[in-house]
A and B are shown apart, each in its own frame.
Chain A
Amino acid sequence: MNIESVLRSALVAGFIGLIEALCRTHIIPQTVMIPPSQMFTHLLGLVSAGQYSKDILFSFTNIIVSAFVAIISGFFIGLLVHSMPRFRGALEPLLASYYAVPTFIFYPVFIVVFGVGHGSIIAIAVLLAIVAMITATLTGLDRIPHVLRKSAAVMRMSRLQTAWRIELPAALPYLFGGVKLAVAYSFIGVIASEFILSGSGIGYAIAFAYNNFESDNMYALMLLVLISVTLINAALNFFDRRLQARRQR
């Protein structure tokens, strides 16, 4: 453990402790926020009682499916676009402006097309995540050093071998950056659309608990989202660091 991670853990622990203390001393009233320890025990209770397991399963299925669809199709669209430089030139200004458009506005259209359920939620999450993957693929392919392709030619590798043994490993760190973003955007897309309009899912459950003044359920579920995002991020960052380390070797 280096000094930074010690300080970081201390900072996070201190922040949680501060909120805990403020809640316990009722400086933050019980009606506004419940103490973090209570959120956590309530979350454990909810998970073991299985009250929300259907919603949790629904959300995570959506997140996993949309992340996979976005990553795989984004990668292949990226490859395709990269092989057509003129089309790419036309597309690039649009890609640069893509995230300026509030995608969620189009959610009602998807509901009419796909109905309320998995389809429309996955569609909006994919729409949000795919462009990050396309951009990352394009950057990754751009950054492959020419010398690597030349050595592949010197070794008389076939096109497929070059792609598999040279180009893919060389572009991998950039691709993984896209994967990280795509996972984060799928998460945001799924939870947010469940919030706006849905009949199940974690986002829906939080909105439902909020509307019915069930603040212990609401905070427990919010904590669940926070913890899962943090864990997924930590796992992805771990792989990312290993990839970066390999590149520098």
Chain B
Amino acid sequence: MQRFLPTFLLVLALIAAWQLLHLAIGAGALTSPWMTVTHLISMMGTVELWTNVGETAKAFAYAMSLALIGGIVLGVLLGVNKLAGAVAEPILLNLYAIPKVTLYPLVLLCFGLGLSSKVAFGVMHGLIPILLFTMNAIRQMRPVYMRTAGTLRLTPIQSLFHVLLPAILPEIVAGVRLGFALTLLGVLIGEMFASQRGLGYMAVNAMGLGDIPTIMAVALLLTVIAVTCNSLMLMLDKKLQHR
């Protein structure tokens, strides 16, 4: 616990800074930490919030599983085949750097309003980092592993499940950590533009109404969820690195 004390103090300092900023620019622009928490708690009593959370969670679950499976499968393929990996990497890096919001009219035209375009947005954001991490992990894997698999006459499927995937597991977890954050961002952005439900829609709706307390409450909820999930994955990451 001693280790986390400085971080805890820093978080307290950040909350104090938030309070000071609130006092400086007024409640109309930024609600205080305490007001935000009470507003969030009162919102938690409504059905509306939970349906929106459920919608976001559903879209996120679909998008995350697609990004995870697609990213790992494509990453393994591109990592094993050196030429394909070298050809694809700059293209993927470039796709990663594109502001994907610009493509939203195209996504809407292809998938329509609703769940499928939210999921498509999430996958677009989350797939590439997972893919790149997996591909680079396979490239940097010690060659002796694959040679051992060859000596043991493992079939490709066996070497995939017993050699390749266990060897690159730490990197996959690191990629998933990044992919998780980006998929969540993608789903939220998708909801902001292409949906009538979900937390992103709630935020953009509150934005239109100038309802700062709701925006801050949604932001707080998302921040807490995202940081908690991220910290859990960081812990898992550290554990795997120490193996």
Contact, CB under 8 Å: A105 / B222: yes
Q: Chain A's nearest CB lies how many Å from the CB of B139? A: 14
Range of interface residues on A (Cβ < 8 Å): 35 or more
| Residue B47 CB within 8 A of the other chain | no
- Residues of chain A with a CB closer than 8 A to B230's CB: 96-97, 100
Dominant secondary structure of chain B at its interface with chain A: helix
Per-residue CB proximity of A16-38 to B under 8 Å, as 1/0?
00000000000000001100000
For the complex, is B73 an interface residue (Cβ under 8 Å from A)?
no
Shortest C-beta distance, B23 to chain A (Å), equals 14
Are B219 and A230 in contact, with the CB atoms below 8 A? no
Chain A residues near B104 (CB-CB < 8 A): 195
Assembly CA distance A137 to B90 (angstroms):
24
User: Are B6 and A210 in contact, CB atoms less than 8 angstroms apart?
Assistant: no
| Complex-state Cα separation, A11 to B92, whole angstroms | 13
Q: Decide: B215 and A105 in contact? CB cutoff 8 A.
A: yes
Instruction: Tell me, yes or no, whether B35 is within 8 Å of chain A by CB.
Output: no
Known: A97-B226, A100-B229, A187-B97. A33 touches B91 (CB 8 A): no
Residue A155 lies at the interface, judged by CB distance under 8 Å to chain B = no
A-B contact count (CB 8 A): 143
Q: A112-B28, A112-B30 are in contact. Are A4 and B7 (CB under 8 A)?
A: no
Beta-carbon nearest neighbor of B188 in chain A: A102
Q: Which residues of A contact B88 (CB under 8 A)?
A: 8
Interface string of A179-213 (1 = CB under 8 A from B): 00000100110111001110000010010001000
Q: Are B10 and A91 in contact (CB under 8 A)?
A: yes
**Stretch in contact with the other chain, from A44-52, A167-175, A221-229:** A221-229
Contact A197 B10 (CB under 8 A): no
The answer to whether A7 touches B87, judged by C-beta atoms less than 8 angstroms apart, is yes
Docked complex Cα distance between A94 and B93 (Å): 26
Asked if B99 CB lies within 8 Å of chain A CBs, one says yes
Interface size on B, residues (CB 8 A): 59
CB within 8 Å for A229 and B99 given contacts A97-B227, A218-B105: yes
Q: How far is the CA of A83 from the CA of B226 in the complex (A)?
A: 29
Query: When the two chains form their complex, are residues A206 and B212 in contact, meaning their CB atoms are under 8 A apart?
Result: no
Secondary structure call for the A interface: helix
The answer on a CB contact under 8 Å between A113 and B25 is yes
**Interface residue A146 (Cβ < 8 Å from any Cβ of B):** no
Q: Judge whether B184 and A4 touch: CB under 8 Å.
A: no
Closest chain-B Cβ to A4's Cβ sits at a distance in Å of: 5
Partner of B218, one of A12, A99, A105, A222: A105
CB < 8 Å neighbour of A105 from B25, B101, B219: B219
CB distance from B86 to the nearest CB of A (A): 5
Contact partners of B6 in chain A: CB under 8 A: 86-87, 89-90
Distance in Å: Cβ of B161 to nearest Cβ of chain A: 30
Q: Does A41 contact B (CB under 8 A)?
A: no
Query: Measured between alpha carbons, how far is A104 from B192 in the docked complex, in Å?
Result: 10
A233 contacts B231, CB within 8 Å? no
B83 and A197 within 8 A (CB): no
Q: Judging by beta carbons under 8 Å apart, are A188 and B99 in contact?
A: yes
Instruction: Choose from B9, B185, B216, B226 the contact partner of A109 (Cβ within 8 Å).
Output: B216
List the B side residues contacting A96 at CB < 8 Å: 230, 234
**Given that A187-B99, A192-B101 are contacting pairs, would A104 and B189 also be in contact in the complex, using a CB cutoff of 8 Å?**
yes
Nearest Cβ distance between residue A206 and chain B, in whole angstroms?
6
Residues of chain B within 8 A of A108, CB atoms compared: 203, 206-207, 210, 212, 215
B residues with CB within 8 A of A: 4, 6-7, 9-11, 25, 28-30, 83, 86-88, 90-91, 93-94, 96-106, 109-110, 178, 180-182, 184-185, 188-189, 192-193, 203-204, 206-207, 210, 212, 215-216, 218-219, 222-223, 226-227, 229-231, 234
A-B contact pairs, 22 of them (CB 8 A): A4-B87, A32-B109, A89-B7, A91-B7, A93-B4, A96-B234, A99-B178, A100-B181, A100-B227, A101-B223, A102-B189, A102-B222, A104-B185, A105-B222, A184-B96, A187-B97, A188-B101, A191-B101, A192-B101, A195-B104, A196-B192, A226-B98
Pairs A-B, 10 closest by C-beta atoms: A90-B6, A100-B226, A112-B29, A100-B181, A191-B99, A184-B97, A100-B230, A105-B219, A188-B99, A210-B105
Interface residues of A (CB under 8 A from B): 3-4, 7-8, 11-12, 32-33, 86-87, 89-91, 93-94, 96-97, 99-102, 104-109, 112-113, 184, 187-188, 190-192, 195-197, 203, 206, 210, 218, 221-222, 225-226, 229-230, 233, 237
| Further pairs besides A4-B83, A11-B87, A203-B102: 4, Cβ < 8 Å | A3-B83, A100-B180, A109-B30, A222-B106
